A and B are shown apart, each in its own frame.
Chain A
C-alpha cells in the first residue's frame, strides 16, 4: 500500500460518513464568519427553527464592508451598516464570538484567525470566502464555501463533499533576494493557469516553500484559489509549530505536547502518490507583475506586455485582446513603463506584518512619486497595525506620503469607500485583477508588497532588486 498525501490524511480524519458515489460528510473544526456571506445563512437557520451545532467553533468579524478611516463616526453607508449590524445581531443571538469593528483584534478574517491561534494544524477550516485556502499554510484543510454551505455548516457542523484529486507543486531550489512568496505564487499561476488547479487540492512543497515564513506560506496558499484549487496546503514543520505556540486559542501545557506530537505527522508520506506533480525552478523566478484581467496574465518585471497575435488559441487570443483594451496597454510595452495612479498595500494576501516590513524597507527615506494620486497601507488586522506602529513602520509610510489606515479588506474588492475610479491604474498587493474588481473601470496590477512600494516611490513599475541603483 502506498503512503498518504497530506490531503489524504486531513480528509480521512474528517470523514463522518460516505456514500457509495463518494459523497462524504466532512466534519468542520473551525468556521470563520464575516458580514457579507452570512446574513442569508443565519436567516435560513432562523426560518427552519435551527441553531448553530457548535457555536464555540465559530469566530466572526466584519471585514469586507468596514471603513478604514473615520471609524469613530461608525459606518456612514446605510446598506453596509445594516449588513455589519446584522452580523452583530446574529452573533449576539446565537452566542458566537465576534471581534467587532472597534475591537483591537478585528481585521481580515484570514489574518486574525491564525493570529489568534484559532487556525491550528490538522483542522478543517471553512469560511464563506474563497481565500479561506490561506489557512492551509498550517497543514490544515481549508477552503471557501458558498452561503448555502455556511448555513449547512452552522446547522450540522459538516459539509457534503467529494474528495478532490491530489496535486503537488514543488518549488525547487532557492529564490533570489527580493523574490517573495507573492512572486512565487504568481509564477505558479502563470505556469499552471487559473483553471490549472480545478478539481485538485494543491500541496505546495520544495525548498523555496520550506524556506518561506508562515506569513509567506499563507500568501502562497491564499492564492491557491486563483489557480482554481479550493484548497492549498503546506506540511507542518518547526516554523508552523513555533508560529502557533502561545497564541490565545492554541493549546497549552500537556495538551500542547500531545497536539505537537500529532502535528508532526501532518506531511505527505515519502511514497505518497499525487495525481499530478508540477515542478518550478525557484532560481528562475523574478519579481512578477500582472498585465491583464486574470491572475494568470503575469510576466516578470523585466518583461513586456505580450502580443495577442502570438497566441494561437482563438479564445485565449480574444481574452488577451479584451484584457489589453480594458487595461489600456499596448503589446510589447515594457512593464517598467507602466505608471500606476494608485498603490494599495494590504489584503488577506499581503496584509501581514512581514508584508508591511518589506514594503516599508522599499519606502524608507523616499517619497511617494508625484504622479501617484493615492497610496494606501491597510494593515490586515488591528494587531498587525499595532505591531507595525511599535516598529515605527507607520512613520516610514506616513512620512513618505502614504495613508495609514484601519484594518479591513478595503481596496482589494472595494466594497467600502476605498476604490479605483474608472480608468485608474493600481499597483496592488491583493489577489484579483478582474475587470472592475477594485472599482468599476479600475485597472489592477498584482505585485508583491515590496514591488508595490517601489512603484509608489518611483511612479512606475521597477525591479525592486535594482531600485537602489536608480
Chain B
C-alpha cells in the first residue's frame, strides 16, 4: 500500500447524498480478478452516455458532459468532495480500487458507510469526515473558485483551505499509523500469532462446536 502523508490537490465536487458503491463501480466490472484497471469505469453510468461493458476501449466512448469529472476544471483531481453516507451499499472493494486507480487519494464527506470507510484505509485512500456545515462551505468555495485546491495533512489531521482556514478531522490512531507508513496489516497481525493460537486453544475447550470442520 502507498504511504499517505500530505496531499495538496484539486478538488472535484460530487453533490449528491447516499452515493452507493454500485454507482462508484457498476457490477459488470466486478468480474475482473485483478485489483487494478477500474479507474476508466469509475462512476461509469454517470460518466458515459453509452452502456459500459468490460473489455471496451473506454477512450472512444461518448462522455456525459454534465458529469462533474468530465469538466475540464476538475481534471487531475485527487480530492473528492462528497455528501453524507458516501459509499453505502455493497462491500465491494472494487469501489476504492476504482477511486484510487482514477487518481483520488482523499474523499471528504460528512459521513461514510462503515464498510467503505474501512476499505479506503486498506488501499491508501484517506476518508475525511467533516461537519456537514463545513462540507457545505467547501462545496460553495469549489463552485466559486476554478482550480480550487485543498491541502490534506494526515499527520496533523487537518484540511487547509486556500485562505488558510484549517479544519481538523478525526482518525483512529491505528489506521493513521498504517496509512502514514503504508503498512500491511496482515504482517502486523501475524506478529500476534501466538496470541491467536492461545485464544483458539482456549475456545476449543470452551466452545468446541464453533470449530465444526467444513472440510
Contact = CB atoms under 8 A, between A and B. Distances in A.
Interface of A: 13, 16-17, 19-23, 25, 27, 29, 36-37, 39-40, 43, 48, 50, 53, 55-59, 64-65, 77, 79-80, 82-83, 86, 95-97, 117-118, 120, 122-123, 128-130, 143-149, 151-152, 155-158, 160, 162, 164, 194-195, 198-199, 225, 228-230, 249-251, 255-256, 258-259, 262, 294, 315-316, 318-319, 322, 413-415, 422, 432, 434-437, 440
B201 to A, nearest CB: 12
Contacts of A225: 89, 115
Given A27-B196, A77-B31, A316-B17, 7 more contacts: A55-B215, A146-B118, A147-B93, A157-B200, A318-B16, A415-B28, A440-B52
Contacts of B111: 195, 198
B116 to A, nearest CB: 8
Contacts of A95: 215
Interface in B164-213: 172-175, 185-186, 189-190, 192-193, 195-196, 199-200, 203, 207-213
Contacts of A40: 33-35, 93
Interface in B47-87: 51-52, 54-55, 83-85
Contacts of B118: 145-146, 149
A29 B210 contact: yes
A149 B213 CA distance: 22
Interface stretch (B6-14, B18-26, B147-155): B18-26
B32 interface: yes
Contacts of B84: 195, 315
Contacts of B123: 148
A83 B31 contact: yes
B93 A414 contact: no
A440 B26 contact: yes
B114 interface: yes
Given A55-B215, A144-B91, A415-B31, A16 B122 contact: no
10 contacts: A21-B174, A36-B30, A64-B30, A77-B31, A79-B55, A83-B31, A95-B215, A146-B122, A148-B119, A155-B190
B101 interface: no
B126 interface: no
Contacts of A259: 207, 209
Nearest to B33: A39
A152 B118 CA distance: 13
B151 to A, nearest CB: 26
Kindly name the residue among B32, B119, B212 whose own CB sees the greatest number of chain A CB atoms within 10 A: B212
A262 B30 CA distance: 40
A97 B211 CA distance: 15
Contact of B189 (A117, A160, A262): A160
B185 A152 contact: yes
Contacts of A77: 31
Interface in B105-145: 111-115, 118-119, 122-123
A316 B17 CA distance: 8
Contacts, number: 212
A37 B92 contact: yes
B42 interface: no
B189 A25 contact: yes
B156 interface: no
A435 B45 contact: yes
A16 B20 contact: no
A117 B214 CA distance: 10
Contact of B20 (A13, A58, A432): A432
A16 B195 contact: yes
A79 B91 CA distance: 21
Given A148-B123, A413-B27, A97 B174 contact: no
Nearest to B51: A440
A146 to B, nearest CB: 4
A428 B28 CA distance: 20
Contacts of B122: 146, 148-149
Contacts of B28: 415
Give 3 nearest A-B pairs by CB, closest first.
A148-B122, A39-B33, A146-B93
Nearest to A21: B173
B14 to A, nearest CB: 12
Kindly name the residue among A19, A249, A435, A436 whose own CB sees the greatest number of chain B CB atoms within 10 A: A436
A315 B172 CA distance: 29
Contact of A56 (B51, B90, B207, B213): B213
A17 B192 contact: yes
Nearest to A437: B22
B192 A25 contact: yes
Contact of B89 (A58, A149, A434): A434
A422 B45 CA distance: 11
Nearest to A85: B33
Nearest to B34: A40
B159 to A, nearest CB: 20
Nearest to A97: B214
Contacts of B203: 27
A244 to B, nearest CB: 10
Nearest to B193: A156
A87 to B, nearest CB: 10
B47 to A, nearest CB: 12
A256 B199 CA distance: 22
A152 B185 CA distance: 8
Contacts of B45: 435-436, 440
B173 A145 contact: no
Contacts of A130: 89-91, 115
B93 A37 contact: yes
Nearest to A95: B215
B17 A86 contact: no
A94 B153 CA distance: 42
A230 B34 CA distance: 26
Contacts of A316: 17
A446 B22 CA distance: 16
